[in-house]
Amino acid sequence: MSMITPLEPALPRGRRGTVQQAVQAVSFGRIAAAVASSRGSTHPVNEDAHSALGRRGRLFVVADGVGGGAMASMASRELVAQLHATLDGQHVDPASVRDAVLVADRVIADGIAELTDSPGAATMALCAPVNAFASRWLVAWVGDCRVYRIAAAPSPTLQALTQDDSFAHLKETPPPGSAPEDPARMVGNGAVVLPNVVFTELRRGELLLMCSDGVHKHVEPDRLARLPDGMPALIQHCEDLIALARAGGSIDDATVLLLQRTGLAMPRPRWMTGRADGDGGAR
């Protein structure tokens, strides 16, 4: 099975994009995952890429090609593929993720150089659980793909786990033709030294939201902060966020990947059912 989205996405139900969903078992629970990706109106192909759902492994990646044209598409897809090739089935920690990103940087640069002198690179966000219960997650990123945690109590709240590697944030002068909010760090052109890595806790029912800048630049934070209940709701929320981005003026490629930690539906013991029904008094 391919690790990444196809170069030319299918157009299900008339949309310019793809949707996928999957559920993976973890100790005493599950990880429900859903993704939607849509080609922007100015690109001939979708320059975003993401992990294919439904495969083995608990690594989730969203990548956004930078530079335009086929090289941007190649960079994003190769980045996703390289990260999976290096990290799937391995212990994921800051050192292994940093090594994998640096390897991908060299592989992408070499691959593009064999085809053209044109540049190609990608930004990325990566999430992976680091314990058997999927209650603790590693989050890594380069550039301006983002990861948010959507917490449950007392009402859904949005926490940004990433900080864009923009020229403005890094206090660097953008080169001619670039803006202060553009990404200053990318994978594939030697513009990454080390990826950013943080850890976060995820309680049951809470979500991690991964997205490209075609989404987060055009959707208000309060519209991101929802806690969908169940797989159909996850898929619908992915599509709704892309629709909101389009309504907000996004013409860029747009990708949303949602991860929700859920508990197993365990039947109540008979003795507890009896007490709840009034059949089993205190003894």
Structural domains of the chain, ranges and CATH numbers in brackets: 12-277 (3.60.40.10)
pLDDT digits (tens, 9 = 90+) for 101-139: 999 999 999 999 898 888 789 999 999 999 999 999 999
Nearest to 152 by CA among 245, 261, 12: 261
Alpha-carbon distance of 98 to 86, in angstroms, equals: 11
Q: Inform me whether the pLDDT recorded for 203 exceeds 70.
A: yes
Q: Would you give the distance in Å from CA 193 to the centre of its chain?
A: 21
What is the structure's pLDDT at 154? 77
| Contact by Cβ (8 Å): 244, 235 | no
For 185, other C-beta atoms within 10 Å of its C-beta total 24
pLDDT value at residue 164: 97
Q: What is the mean pLDDT of residues 142-158?
A: 91
Mean pLDDT throughout 261-276? 55
3-state secondary structure string across 29-65: EEEEEEEEEECCCCCCCCCEEEECCCCCCCCEEEEEE
Beta-carbon count within 10 A of 282 CB: 4
Q: Give the per-residue pLDDT at 263.
A: 79
Query: Does 88 score more than 50 pLDDT?
Result: yes
Q: What one-character DSSP code corresponds to residue 246?
A: H
| Token representation of residue 205 | 């029912």
d(CA 101, CA 125): 11
Residue 243: per-residue pLDDT: 96
Q: What is the DSSP letter of 194?
A: S
Q: Is the pLDDT of residue 70 over 70?
A: no
CA distance 216 to 242: 10
Residue 189's contacts (CB-CB under 8 Å, 6 or more residues apart) are 105, 109, 119, 120, 121
Higher pLDDT, 155 or 41: 41
